[in-house]
Structure formats: C-alpha cells, structure tokens
Amino acid sequence: APAEPLEEKGQVAPYICQRRTPLLHHNTALTDALETMAEEARFCGSDVRSLAFSRAASVLKSLPWRVKRIQQLHTVPCVGEHSQRIIQEMLEDGMSAEVEQVRQSERYRTMKLFTKIFGVGVKIASQWYQRGLRTLADLQLHQIKLNLEQQAGLLHYEDLNTPVELWEAEAISQVVRKAVEQISPGATVTLTGGFRRGKPCGHDVDLLITHPSEGQEMGLLCRVISILDSQGFLLYHSTHRNSLPSLEDEELWVSDHSSTMDHFERCLSIFHLGDLAGSNQGGAGAQKLGASTGSGASSLWKAVRVDLVETPYSQFPFALLGWTGSRNFERDLRRFSKHEKKMTLNSHGLYHLEQKIFLPAASEEEIFQHLGLEYILPEERNA
C-alpha cells in the first residue's frame, strides 16, 4: 500500500477551488450514489440538501486514494451525516438501499425523464408530475402547452440526450469559426465548458466569441447566427440581448446576485449536425457538417445543443473561467472570493468590495493570483 496519504491527516482544503479534481478518480461508485441523492433532493426543491450531497461527492472526487473505511473520512471536510450513512452502506454492502429506492421510485424516474427535455426545469416537471403525467406521450395526450424551446426539446429529445462527442464539438467549433472569420477577421472562437476540462463527451457545446480589439465583438454574435441560419445549420435558436449596465455601477457588485450574474449577449441553439453515417472518426466531422437535407432520416443527422456567448476582450479571461465550469467549481470559487477575500467574482470581472477597485486580468492565471489561490488547470476543475 502507498504511504499514508496526507489527506487522511486533515489536509483536505474546505473549498473546491483550493483542490485539484480530476475527471477520473478513485471513488466513482460512492460519488455516483451521492450524486443521485443530490439530484433527488433537487427534484424535491431542497437545494440546501442537494448542495450538501453535491459537496460530499466533490470532495471524494478530489481524494487521490480510494475510500475503504468510513473512519478515513473523519478529517475530510464537507461529508455530512447523511452522506456518511450512504457511504457506510456502500462500503459495507456494495450498494445503498436508500439510493436504490430513489433510483426506482416513480417520482425520481419521471422527474428525470421530464427535466431531460431542453427548456424544462424542476418546477415545470414537478407540476406535470403532480397532474399525473408520466411519459413524453402524456404531454401530447394532455395537450400540455409548450414554449418554442420545449417544443424543440421534445422534437429532438433522443438526439439531445445522446452525448456529444469531442470530434462533434470540434466540428461545430470549426463551422462557427469559419462564419466568425468571414464577418470579422481576427475574432476568435474558444471551446469551453466540459470539453475544455478534458471530458470526452458532454451534453452540449459551449463556445465563447471575442475580438482582440475591444468593441469589435459587438454585434458579432447576431451576424454569426444569421449566417449559420442561412447555411441551414440551425434547428432552433434564441438570442438573449446583452443587458449589461456599466460595470462601474457599484450596485452590480454588491447585490445578492452579483456573483451569478452573466449579462453577455448569448444564444441558446440547436445545431443540425449533418450526415453522420459512418463518419465518426476524428476530424472527419467538419466536412460532413450540413451535408444532409435535414428532412428526416434520423440515422443520417443529429441535433446538438450549442451555447454561443459574445464577450468583450477585456472580460474574456473572466468569461472563460466562468464558462469552463464545473458548476460546483464555479460556485465555490465565487463563495471563496466573497467570504475569504471580500471580492465579488463573476463572468465579467473581479471587484474588491472594501477597496472598491476592479482587479483586471489578462489570463485565468492572473485571476487565481488576485485571489491568492494556486492555479488549477481546467482538467483539474471536474468537481
């Protein structure tokens, strides 16, 4: 056995952003169980309970050793009583009766089914469940009113719940890059989200668009969307206008929502990834894109969710940090900033609440430096 790990002597840092969390780790069975509990709590509207299970799962992902006895966790932070019970059950029996019961429950399964529709959150899914709906077909039977987003989500349900692979994400990035360069040479497109953290597949493709001369990015997203649309790449899109007031407005940085705000111009879209038949090898995707007529044969093309975001160059490092995720990592980064450093961090910038100054940064590394944190690579942010 390897030397007694430091972590067993109380060395695990309390904030996720102080830890390195790789994609592959040593406690997958335990973290799967805890994440099921977190999801179930979220389905019940218990966000505090959900966060507790989620934090427990995150800390286990960061341990460079496999948990074998519950006593090993006594000095590990963020593992509450209920999480410990689940872990103990798992260690003793190889499974947790409580988790299995959740997984088999009608409510959990139905909530999962409904929340997997693009545009459907816990609130709506819960209403449908209360009304007695149990299947996707029930939505039509009961003539449930759906907005455009949900209609698209239902129409492309299968595709949108099929993982997006890296080569598909790269093919889409390339298509967007071509459109962007056509409009504004020098503008850049960056693949972020889970793929930047090294995930081999994901639920969508997250792209940031910027231009090195400040101001040149303005209006870019809108024009990119219209090009992509005319090229037949878009099955659905909805643009959210930039609503950003002046960053100088202090209210923006002291309000309760200051750390979660994100006012960039953005587009939620569904791409039409053309003619996939037999072309699932690296790189080959780019030429195949858009090759289909899009009129049906589900085996020939695939619908893929894409998030497009336009950011000014001066805010780009903050946007990159904010959109790389994971969500758990982001949440703790912002919590750490506020409570340990008296700073507000969001996807637009970093503001010192006591000195009342902005801390500009030209890279993610500089943001970590401002916060007095060791730099954590994107691949180590899989909390």
Footprint on this chain of ligand CTP (rule: CB under 6 A): 193-194, 199, 202-204, 206, 262, 322-323, 325-327, 330, 347
Q: Which of 159, 206, 275, 332 is catalytic?
A: 206
Dihedral Cα 61, 64, 69, 72, nearest 10 deg: -100
Please tell me the distance from the alpha carbon of residue 347 to that of residue 321, in angstroms, as a whole number: 7
Determine, following the binding rule CB under 5 A, whether residue 307 of this chain makes contact with Mn ion: yes
Which helix (H) or strand (E) covers residue 88, if one does? Answer: helix 81-93
CA proximity to 115, closest of 126, 105, 130: 126
Nearer residue to Mn ion within complex by CB, 153 or 193: 193
Is residue 229 annotated as part of the catalytic site, yes or no?
A: no
Q: Which does 165 bind (CB under 5 to 8 A by kind): Mn ion, ligand CTP, none?
A: none
Which helix (H) or strand (E) covers residue 125, if one does? Answer: helix 122-130
Q: Which does 298 bind (CB under 5 to 8 A by kind): Mn ion, ligand CTP, none?
A: Mn ion
185-193, 232-240, 337-345, 357-365 -> range binding Mn ion (CB under 5 A): 185-193
Q: Which of 159, 204, 275, 332 is catalytic?
A: 204
Residue whose tokens read 């899109």: 237
Please tell me the distance from the alpha carbon of residue 126 to that of residue 111, in angstroms, as a whole number: 7
Q: Which does 159 bind (CB under 5 to 8 A by kind): Mn ion, ligand CTP, none?
A: Mn ion
Please tell me the distance from the alpha carbon of residue 8 to that of residue 17, in angstroms, as a whole number: 19
Determine, following the binding rule CB under 5 A, whether residue 274 of this chain makes contact with Mn ion: no
Q: How far is the CB of 192 from ligand CTP (least distance, A)?
A: 7
Is residue 256 annotated as part of the catalytic site, yes or no?
A: no
Which residue type, as a one-letter code, is found at position 230?
Answer: S
Please tell me the distance from the alpha carbon of residue 139 to that of residue 166, in angstroms, as a whole number: 33
Determine, following the binding rule CB under 5 A, whether residue 204 of this chain makes contact with Mn ion: yes
Under rule CB under 5 A, how many of the chain's residues touch Mn ion? 8
Q: Are 241 and 213 in contact (CB under 8 A)?
A: no
Q: Which does 310 bind (CB under 5 to 8 A by kind): ligand CTP, Mn ion, none?
A: none
Is residue 206 annotated as part of the catalytic site, yes or no?
A: yes
Please tell me the distance from the alpha carbon of residue 242 to that of residue 253, in angstroms, as a whole number: 18
Nearer residue to ligand CTP within complex by CB, 17 or 87: 17
Which helix (H) or strand (E) covers residue 168, if one does? Answer: helix 166-183
Q: Which two tokens stand for residue 277?
A: 């038949």
Which residue type, as a one-letter code, is found at position 341?
Answer: K
Determine, following the binding rule CB under 5 A, whether residue 206 of this chain makes contact with Mn ion: yes
Closest residue to Mn ion, judged by C-beta, is: 193
Determine, following the binding rule CB under 5 A, whether residue 168 of this chain makes contact with Mn ion: no
Please tell me the distance from the alpha carbon of residue 161 to that of residue 146, in angstroms, as a whole number: 19
In the shown chain, the binding pattern of residues 138 to 167 toward Mn ion, with x for contact by CB under 5 A and - for none, equals: ---------------------x--------
Closest residue to ligand CTP, judged by C-beta, is: 202
Q: Which spans of this chain sit near Mn ion (rule: CB under 5 A)?
A: 159, 193-194, 202, 204, 206, 298, 307
Catalytic residues: 204, 206, 307
